[in-house]
Amino acid sequence: MKFFDFRKNPNKRPAAAALQYDPQKPEPPQVVAVGRGVTAEEIVRIAKEHKIPLHEDPGLVEALARLDVSEYVPRELYAVVAEILAYVYRVDSEMKGRTS
* Full set of structural domains in the chain with CATH: 15-99 (3.40.1690.10)
- Give 18-71 pLDDT, tens digit per residue: 999 998 999 999 999 999 999 999 999 999 999 888 888 888 898 898 899 999
Q: Is the pLDDT of residue 4 over 70?
A: no
Q: For residue 88, is pLDDT > 90?
A: no
Model confidence at 9, in pLDDT bands (50, 70, 90)? low
Given this model, what pLDDT does residue 12 score? 72
Q: What is the 3-state secondary structure (H, E, C) of the chain?
A: CCCCCCCCCCCCCCEEEEEECCCCCCCCCEEEEEEECHHHHHHHHHHHHCCCCCCCCHHHHHHHHCCCCCCECCHHHHHHHHHHHHHHHHHHHHHHHHHC
pLDDT of residue 50: 94
